Structures are given as structure tokens and as C-alpha cells.
Structure 1
Amino acid sequence: MRMAHVGVLLDRKAAERRWQYGLNSFEYYMEEVLRHAGVPFERLEHIELLPERSYDIVIAALAPNDAAAASLLWSYAEQGGTVIACAGLNAMAARLGAVPHRSSGPGYASFVDWRAIPVRYSQAAPWKTEPGNPNLIQETGMLMKDHPAGAAQGPARQTFRIGKGLLERWAIDICGTIVELQQGTGPVLDDGEPAPDGTAAVNEGILKADDRIAMDWEHDRLLTETGSPYFAYPYADYWRDLFIGHLLQSVLSLELTLPVVGCWPDGIERVAMISHDSDLNQDIHAESALEQLGECGIRSTWCMIEPGYSPGIYDLVKAAGHELAFHYNALDEQNGRWAEDEFERQLDWLKQAANLPAVTSNKNHYTRFEGWGELFEWCEKGGVQSDQTRGPSKKGNVGFIFGTCRPYFPIAWAGENNRMYDVLEIGFLTQDLDLTTQWSDSSVINPFLDEVARMNGVAHFLFHQVHIHNSASVRAALRRVVEEARSRGFTFWTGEQINRWERSRRNISLDMAADGTVIVSGEAPEGAVIWIPVPDGYEPSEDEELADQYGVSCRKESASGRVKQA
């Protein structure tokens, strides 16, 4: 088996035409989906060059919707290529005996062979075909209108035969869905809609990250055994895995393979993170937190807000191996401002106060947030490589409110040509458990940890130092988080460690030599592994380890040097 040559079509002319009118091309997020999985690929910016390339699979992320583009993709498939698309390509429908339906959403997609959980999407554009269509090979999944038990809207994915090749067409705008789930339905310009049950009054007059969410209050939350509501489903992660899994299966069906990079280092099954916000800034609060963390044997991320602690506290925090991070305050009631110069001023204060040459992480006070990408721009300019602002501010919206538990890089709005921000987002799940009835109780710990474990994400919990000091119940909740996480094989990392690992693992490049070995190039971090998909019936040798990755059986290998391919 040789490695598949994958091309990602992001036609520049099609994108520029949209940007001319202020429209987004979130299809560019396909590259982030692939990079997170460590999938080798090549960008194709001009569809006219397709005949000159030797791709085994083309992911038609953004293609012109015209006859010329349809003809080029048709010819490519006819000669044996596989085209994978996420919505779009309506210009090809008539020739395949299909009729495009108007784009609609949000809704839910069900897959009988995938966890039996309907997966929320933002937009879908299904094709209708008549029974007996000779071009149609297979239909997978079903779209439901509005809610998980809504009216059927057509198949989630269709497979069409074109000559010697295939068109694998998802009806769902997967990239747009992931972006809306992770970054919101649009810029934060005003208050969001509160939860109907009164548990999340996000419309309190403070602009925050959770004022624009793509989740549904009724269909996307569950209750714990104590009646505590939480967003239960990291849908964005589901879509990533569904797409990558289908891509790998398509590769194997061509009798090829496509290695991917493991999420975490060898020996680390999954990662948890504890962060704190200094808020009232009393030294005694910090001392109590240091004592508690020492008892638990973990290192954490300390987000510092002005005026901060006494200088000696910073030395103690550093000596204990914790990360000192930024807690930008733009809360108007506390004389904060949402402005770049104020962000810079506060960041400079922290560097001087804590004697830090650089600051890796930030989390905004009260999850204050405005607009779309301004915060990420400010982080980039200030050398802040990671942000943790995207999390819940109320009892009723804890959990996977932004559809993910994985570190990811966000995408810009159309005004910046939908570029990727160089800021790693590590959202959090909840804060200060068992504090008061205004916040969630510790019954959410186990469902959060169990779901994060399934998704290979980060279980990020926030505990304020002041509440660790003042509340025995909060201290007990923190201990329980640590105990339950460790019992599930979690390793505790700081935000800086997660950021460093995620960036370094993305430096790995995979290729395949003529003699059938996978070549790993780039500065692979210590412990990095790659997973090589193998066909059904593959018999491993005694020293080989097989495991399921994205629903596909894969062989595990170290990411150092040359790795023998399956």
C-alpha cells in the first residue's frame, strides 16, 4: 500500500468573489480540520490546475459553482479519482440525476453506525434522487429538520459513481458548522438569548463569548442526577471525527493508506487542565490555592488580573511549576475597556509585575468578548499564543457550550480573508463547582470527563483562588476533579504545556518513500506517534499495536525517523 495523495481545493477566485461582497469562505477551515488530525495534504488554489495534479482524492472544499468547474471535477473522477465535498457542487447535480434542495438549518444528522447520537449542524443542502438512479451507489445518514426527531430532509451523505471514480458528497456544510459551533453564529454585538428555564441569564448587559452560541437550549442539554443542566455534546469534535473517519475509509477503499498524527504523546492517554482567575488578588487566597494544589500534586494555570499579588507570590507560583497567565479585564463596571491599547497596557503590567519575559496564555475576565476576532488579533500582536476565554458564564450553560473540548486555531471573518489566527483556543467546561446554587454542582464532573476521554480532548476546569480559600465545598470539588480524572487516566497539564505540545506536533510532516516506508520529517516532539490505517483483516506482528482511530483500525508507530508502512 502506498500513501494517498490528497488535494484540498480552495479556489482563490471563488473565495475572492465572496470576500468582495463581505461574505465568508469558512471552507478554509478544512485545512485546520486536517492539520489537527495530522493528515498530509496539498492545497490547490486554482481548479484549472487539477488535470496537472496526480491526486488520489480531492477534497472540494471551495469550488466555483459553474459548468467549467463541474466539467473538470467530472473528468477527474471519471478517470478514477475520488471527490469529497461538503455541500456545494450543485452544478454537477443534473448530470448525476439529482435535484438540489435549498440550503436549510440548523438541524440534526443521524448515523445508525455512529454512537446513535444525532449531530447538530448549522446548514445543509441535500440532493434529492429518484429510486433506481443508476449513478447513486449509497446513501448514509439522515438529516432532520430543526430538532433530533424532526421531519426527514434527505441523506447526510451520498456516494455517486462517475466513470472509474466517485463523488462522495456530504449534504452538510461541515466547515461552516464547526466554525459556528466553536466561534459563534456571528460577531458579538449585543446580548444573547437566555435559557428558557432561567438557568443562564446571559442577557445581563455584559457582552461575553456565550452571547453568540450555535447550541439549542432544549435539544443540546441534559440534566445530571441532581438536576444540573449542561451542554452534553461536543458536536464540532463529532463532525471532525466523522469527516476524518470517512476520509480514511475512502483511502482504504482505494487500497491506499493515509497516516495521521496522534493527539497526545506516547504514554499519555488524555489531558486535563485546571486554571484559576486571581480576581480579588489577596495573597492569602493564592497561598491557600498553592497548598491545595500541592496536596493534589498538580500544576495549573494562574490567570492574573491587575493589580495582582505581592511579588513574592509570583515567585512561589513559579517555583511550584505553575504557569502565570494573563486575565484581561474589559469589564466596564470595573473601569475596564474593550480596546487594543488597554489589552496591551494590562499585558505589559503583568510582565513587569511578575517578571515575565513573555506570557503564553490569556483568559478574559468574566469571559468578556466583543466582535469576532479582535481578541485573537491582540493576542497575536502581544505574543500571547493561547486563549481560554471561550467558556460558560452561567450555571445553565456549562459543558460543551462551544461544541468542542479540543484545542483549535480559530478563523477570521471575511474582512481578513478568513485567515487562521495564530492563537490556540483552549476553552473551559465550568467553574467553581459546589460554590452556591448559582453554579453547577459536582455531578457534572463525571459526564464531562467521560465525554472528553472519548474525544481525546482537554478537560479544562476553572477554580478561582478566592473560592478555594473561602469554600470547603469548592476545595472538595477540586479534589474530586483530580481524583476522578486520574482514575480515568488523565494527566494534568498547564495551558502552556498544551500549547507547546499542540504546536510542536503540527510540525510533523508525513510522506512515503518508494520502498514503502512512511517518512516523518520536521521537528517531532518527544513521544509523538503516528497512526497508519490498515485494511480489514490485517494481521499485526507480535510487536505491533493496533487501535481504533476515527473509526478505522490503525497501526501505532513512533514519529522518530523512518517508520515502516503497513
Structure 2
Amino acid sequence: MRLAHVGVLLDRQAAKRRWENGLNVFQTYIGEILGHAGISFQWLDRAEQISQKGLDVLVVALDGKEEETASEIWKFAEEGGVVISFMGLSRLADKLGYSDRGPAGKGYAMLPAKFADQKPLRYLQASPWLAVSTSDHVPGEIGKIKKDHPDGDTLGAALLQFRVGKGVIDRWAVDIAETVVKFQQGAGPVIEDGIPALDGTGPVDDGILKADDAIEMDWELDREKTGTGAPYFAHAYADLWREVLIGHLLRRVVERGLTLPVIGYWPDGISHVAMISLDSDHNTDESAEVTADVLGECDTPATWCIIEPGYSAHIYKRVEQEGHELAFHYNAVHHDQGKWEEAEFRRQFEWLKTAVGMEKITSNKNHYTRFEGWGELFRWCETYGILSDQTRGPSKKGNIGFLFGTCHPYFPVGWSDEQNRIYDVLEISFLTQDLDHRTLADSSVIGPFLEQVEKVGGVAHFLFHPVHIYNQKPVRHALRKVVREAKQRGFVFWTGKQINDWERARRKIRIEECDGDGHILVQSETDLSDVVVWVPLPDENEAEPSDSAQMRFGVRCAKKVVTVQAKQRRWV
């Protein structure tokens, strides 16, 4: 069982042309998607490298549209390689008997169960191909993409699969990488108020620029209601599209008798992770004491985001002693005497470090989810050593849930002026705040939120304010209810720092080889224990006993639990 060698082609010249003209190349994000799954791959920046790298699979992120590039890709497939493209390969359309109809806007994809057990899936960028002539390469057509609406006009197949020589060319109509990015970060910078919900439940047009002023969900089509009538964004579309991409890649690998291990999202013995964060608005010591009492009663750690002027010193000491995390709560809200500028961010951060007596602060969340532009906040966090941010979440009663399409910790991507680099800041978005508050959502959403997080393996992040925990008994009871229901479902509560430290450490592990008996060669840049590695089993292992194989990304995998040490390579 040999390890599949995967290459990702991002034509450097094509990318450079786009950047020079102010265009984004969000296709770079394929690397982040694969990296989060722990999949080993190598970048290719020009087509000539395809034949030089000993690849089994070529993922085409950006192909440049030159004839020479198309020829190299075709040759690779003819000789037995697997080619996977996302909204690309227009130079090969005619040769395959198809025509590229160009960008088709937003809509919904209908995929068979083996690709996605949830349908429809909202997409944000697609370019379907239509058959125009007879070709020797009759494709398999998988799924459909619908224009605008799940019941809209069919624009074409979601996935075309062509036999070419000894290999295959798979072409997705949906640009999955761009779709994931735009769900997570919006389609553009935040420069004005967002569009509110027609039913009045999501008045984001409040004159305050926020993260949720730029979302790519549909107020009508992507929300559901609980039994009490509470509306919420129900689907983690970005996470589900990640699973589509990875599952498809793994299936193509195992069909060829190869394997491509993935690294589990959480340590062995932890199936689901939840998180409580607290924003210290109003800063009354009494509210902090009551909140700490409730968390102690629940035996649950939390991330305390402290806004200036903060609590008294004894509060910070108690928070630390009881195993919680102290974090930053940057204030850029004008009516709370805040400003959106780097100098003010730095000043407030320096105040916090002095107030709590700590030089190293891991996490931040902006007051009122204040957000402007595209990457300013992430650049500030990088500059001042903040490793994780939690700003991206709902500010209104009616836009709670998965409004950014994700509950996974992820590294955001820069705009074209930074050549779409990946920021060194881990984003952990939140789902809702202060449940059962008199003007906010009720706790009937807890179950649906936990169910969707379980499904995709992310983080169930709930935000509360100590001032509301103190002043409103229903909010206090809702916090207890979140912890109780999550623990009943097997969730383990971590702080933002714990999530950040784990995610960064697991990404320093690399699977280098796999032998005929399924043993893997692991290399790591860090010490880490209880790491789960899922090794996909080739089709001939269909008889593998069920107690030693589990389904991951729609593929049967053997589970390995490993302990790794920095700078060591070992077979397991």
C-alpha cells in the first residue's frame, strides 16, 4: 500500500498576472484545505514540473490557460495520472467535446450521497461545461448545479469525470477553494453596512462596521427555525465543501490501490470540542465572580476576553488559577470610545498585558465584532504576537449559527495586494451569544448547533457576557444548559489557547511514506501525543474487519494513534 504523491499546480505566471491587475487568486486556499486535513502534498508553480515530480495525483488550482500547460496536463492523465480541477482546464474543453459557458454566479449543488450526505450545497462560484460535440472521452456526469435556488434551472453537471488514456481528468464546475474563502471571509472588504433580513431579525445595517456586514449566506434559503421559531443559519457549507474536496481526492487515490493518510482533527479520545468565551463589557467584578462560580460549578474552562478598563487584579488571578484563559477584547466601537486603527490596537493591547501581568496573550475577539477592510485585523494580530482571533461571529438575534459557513479553526487568506498569502492567525468563529437574553436568541438552538458541529468535526463556540450572566438568570441557566447538553453529547470544553496550540502542533506533522503492510513514516517538528492518523484502505481491502476500520470522508480508513517527537522520523 503505497503513499500517493500529490501535487498542486498553481501557475506562478498566471497568478502574478492576476495580482498585478488587482485580482484575487483564492485558488491558493486549496493548500490550506489540504493542510488542515493533514494531507501531504507539494506545490508546483509551472507546468513543466508535472512530469518531474513523480506524481500520482495532480490537483490543478490555477492552470494559466496556455496550450503548453494543457498539453502537460493531458499527457500526465494519458500516462495514468489522476487530474482534479476546480472550474479550470478551459483549454481542454473542446478536446473533450465540451464548451465552457463561463462564470455562472451563485447557486446550489445537488450531489449524490457518496460525495455529500447533505444537499443542496450552496456554492459561490461556478463555471459549468456543456456538451457540444461527440468525443472519444465520454464522461461520467456527477450531480447537478442549480442557478440561484435549489429548485432553479439546471446549469450542468457538478462534476465531469473523463477517461483519458490510462488515467482520468475530473473537472468540478464549482470553484471549491473560492467558495470556502468567500463563506469564511466574505466576497470583499467590509466598507459599508450589510444587507439586513427582510423579516427584521437581522438588522446589520446599524451604522457600525462588523464582521457580519459581509456574509455570503441567503437570508431566505439558508436559515431554518427551531420549534420556538428562532431563526438560525443551519449549514456549515464551507466545512461541507472541504469534505467534498477531500473525500473525492481520497476516493480517487484508493481506487488505484494507493493511500493518502489524513490527520484527525482532535486527539484520541476526544470526538468533539466545544468552547465558551466571555466578553468583559462593563467590567463589574461582581459579574466576573458569579460567572467564575458558574463555570466552576460546571467544571468548564473559558476564554475571558478583557476590554479596557478591565476588572480588579484579584479577578485575573482567580481566572488563571481556575484554569481559564485571559485574552484581549479590542474596542473599536466609536460610541464606546474606541477607534479602528493600528496605534489604538497596540495601545489597548499593551494596557491589557500590563493589567493582567502577562507578556504573552494568545487570543483576541473584537468588541461588538467590529471589523473593517479585509486583512487589517489579522496583520495587527501578527505584528503584536496574537496567534488566534475569535471576532467572526453574529452580532444580531437573527443571524446566529453558521453564518460564515464554518465551525472549524482556520487560517484566513489575504487580499490580492498581499498575493493572497495565508495569515499566521488562527480564526475560531463563534455561533451565538448570550442565549435566553431578553433581546437575543433562545436556547432551543443549542441542539441543532451541536448536531451540525458533530457532523463536521469543528468547534461549538458559544459566547457569553458576564454582565448578562450576572443580571439575567435565564442567561445564567443557558450557560449551564450549553455545558450540560454538550457534555451529554461527548463534547470536551477547551479554551481558545488550547485549540490554537493543538491545531498548530498537529499541522507540524507530516506523513512521508507508507509500506505494504500499512505502516506509515511520520515526521514532526514538535512533541505531541495521542495523534490520530486515518489511513485510507484501498479497494482490495474491502474485507478488512469492521472493528479495525472506520469511515472518514466517505472512505474506509484504518485508525492509528501515534506519539511524535520533534525532529524525529519513525515508522508506526
User: If the TM-score is normalised by the length of the shorter chain, which range does it land in?
Assistant: over 0.9
1-structure distance, mates of 2:471, 2:152: 48
1:434 is paired with a residue whose SS is coil
Instruction: Answer whether contact 2:99 2:132 (CA < 8 A) is retained.
Output: no
Matching residue's letter, 1:557: K
1-structure distance, mates of 2:288, 2:493: 19
CA 1:515–1:226 in 2, change beyond 3 Å: closer, same or farther?
A: closer
The residue aligned with 1:67 is: 67
The residue aligned with 2:555 is: 552
The alpha-carbon deviation at position 254 of structure 1 amounts to 1.1
Instruction: Answer whether contact 1:200 1:394 (CA < 8 A) is retained.
Output: yes
**1:465 matches 2:466:** yes
**Structure 1 stretches lacking a partner, 5+ long:** none
2:103 is paired with a residue whose SS is coil
1:287 is paired with a residue whose SS is helix
Point out the more displaced range, 333-342 or 124-133: 124-133
The residue aligned with 2:50 is: 50
Instruction: Answer whether contact 2:449 2:460 (CA < 8 A) is retained.
Output: yes
Instruction: Answer whether contact 2:110 2:145 (CA < 8 A) is retained.
Output: yes
Matching residue's letter, 1:110: M
2-structure distance, mates of 1:559, 1:67: 46
2-structure distance, mates of 1:119, 1:228: 22
**Structure 2 stretches lacking a partner, 5+ long:** 565-569
1:500 is paired with a residue whose SS is helix
The residue aligned with 1:314 is: 316
The residue aligned with 2:532 is: 529
The residue aligned with 1:507 is: 508
2-structure distance, mates of 1:132, 1:110: 26
What aligned pairs does 1:111-122 form with structure 2 within 5 A after superposition?
A: 111-113=111-113, 114-122=116-124
The residue aligned with 2:90 is: 90
Instruction: Answer whether contact 1:520 1:560 (CA < 8 A) is retained.
Output: no
The residue aligned with 1:238 is: 240
What aligned pairs does 1:82-161 form with structure 2 within 5 A after superposition?
A: 82-113=82-113, 114-129=116-131, 133-161=135-163
2:307 corresponds to which of 283, 305, 308: 305
What aligned pairs does 1:68-467 form with structure 2 within 5 A after superposition?
A: 68-113=68-113, 114-129=116-131, 133-436=135-438, 438-467=439-468
Point out the more displaced range, 347-356 or 124-133: 124-133
The alpha-carbon deviation at position 52 of structure 1 amounts to 1.5
1:498 is paired with a residue whose SS is helix
Instruction: Answer whether contact 1:304 1:350 (CA < 8 A) is retained.
Output: yes
Query: How big is the alpha-carbon RMSD for the aligned residues of Structure 1 and Structure 2?
Result: 1.3
Identical aligned residues as a percent: 54
Instruction: Answer whether contact 1:532 1:555 (CA < 8 A) is retained.
Output: yes
Matching residue's letter, 1:498: I
2-structure distance, mates of 1:496, 1:83: 39
Instruction: Answer whether contact 2:99 2:129 (CA < 8 A) is retained.
Output: yes
The residue aligned with 2:490 is: 489
The alpha-carbon deviation at position 112 of structure 1 amounts to 2.8
1-structure distance, mates of 2:55, 2:188: 35
CA 1:563–1:453 in 2, change beyond 3 Å: closer, same or farther?
A: farther
1:281 is paired with a residue whose SS is coil
The alpha-carbon deviation at position 197 of structure 1 amounts to 0.6
Instruction: Answer whether contact 1:505 1:524 (CA < 8 A) is retained.
Output: no
Instruction: Answer whether contact 1:508 1:524 (CA < 8 A) is retained.
Output: no
The alpha-carbon deviation at position 206 of structure 1 amounts to 0.2
The alpha-carbon deviation at position 559 of structure 1 amounts to 2.6
2-structure distance, mates of 1:559, 1:419: 31
1-structure distance, mates of 2:560, 2:79: 34
The alpha-carbon deviation at position 541 of structure 1 amounts to 6.1
Instruction: Answer whether contact 2:409 2:428 (CA < 8 A) is retained.
Output: yes
Q: Deviations along 1:493-536, whole A, 9 cap, x unmatched?
A: 00000000000000100011566531111125211110000134
1-structure distance, mates of 2:34, 2:301: 31
1-structure distance, mates of 2:49, 2:571: 32
Instruction: Answer whether contact 1:59 1:84 (CA < 8 A) is retained.
Output: yes
Point out the more displaced range, 96-105 or 415-424: 96-105
1:191 is paired with a residue whose SS is coil
2-structure distance, mates of 1:524, 1:550: 27
The alpha-carbon deviation at position 335 of structure 1 amounts to 1.6
2:258 is paired with a residue whose SS is coil
1-structure distance, mates of 2:117, 2:254: 22
Instruction: Answer whether contact 1:123 1:177 (CA < 8 A) is retained.
Output: yes
The alpha-carbon deviation at position 545 of structure 1 amounts to 2.8
Instruction: Answer whether contact 1:507 1:524 (CA < 8 A) is retained.
Output: no
Point out the more displaced range, 44-53 or 25-34: 44-53
Q: Deviations along 1:138-157, whole A, 9 cap, x unmatched?
A: 11110000011111010000
1:528 is paired with a residue whose SS is strand
Matching residue's letter, 2:557: C
Matching residue's letter, 1:528: V
Q: Deviations along 1:198-249, whole A, 9 cap, x unmatched?
A: 0010001000000000100000000110011000000000100000000000
Instruction: Answer whether contact 1:136 1:158 (CA < 8 A) is retained.
Output: no
Matching residue's letter, 2:470: H
2-structure distance, mates of 1:220, 1:2: 42
2:2 is paired with a residue whose SS is coil
Point out the more displaced range, 136-145 or 205-214: 136-145
Matching residue's letter, 1:117: K
**1:4 matches 2:8:** no
The residue aligned with 2:476 is: 475
Matching residue's letter, 1:71: S
Instruction: Answer whether contact 1:143 1:155 (CA < 8 A) is retained.
Output: yes
2-structure distance, mates of 1:505, 1:136: 42
Instruction: Answer whether contact 1:513 1:519 (CA < 8 A) is retained.
Output: yes
1-structure distance, mates of 2:161, 2:436: 50
Question: With structure 1 as the length reference, what TM-score do the two structures score?
Answer: 0.97
1:560 is paired with a residue whose SS is strand
Point out the more displaced range, 554-563 or 420-429: 554-563
Instruction: Answer whether contact 1:230 1:399 (CA < 8 A) is retained.
Output: yes
Matching residue's letter, 1:97: G
Matching residue's letter, 1:481: V
Instruction: Answer whether contact 1:524 1:559 (CA < 8 A) is retained.
Output: no
1-structure distance, mates of 2:514, 2:492: 36
2-structure distance, mates of 1:477, 1:539: 47
The alpha-carbon deviation at position 104 of structure 1 amounts to 1.1
Question: With structure 2 as the length reference, what TM-score do the two structures score?
Answer: 0.96
1:264 is paired with a residue whose SS is coil
Instruction: Answer whether contact 1:107 1:147 (CA < 8 A) is retained.
Output: yes
Instruction: Answer whether contact 1:58 1:83 (CA < 8 A) is retained.
Output: yes
The alpha-carbon deviation at position 416 of structure 1 amounts to 0.3
The alpha-carbon deviation at position 134 of structure 1 amounts to 3.2
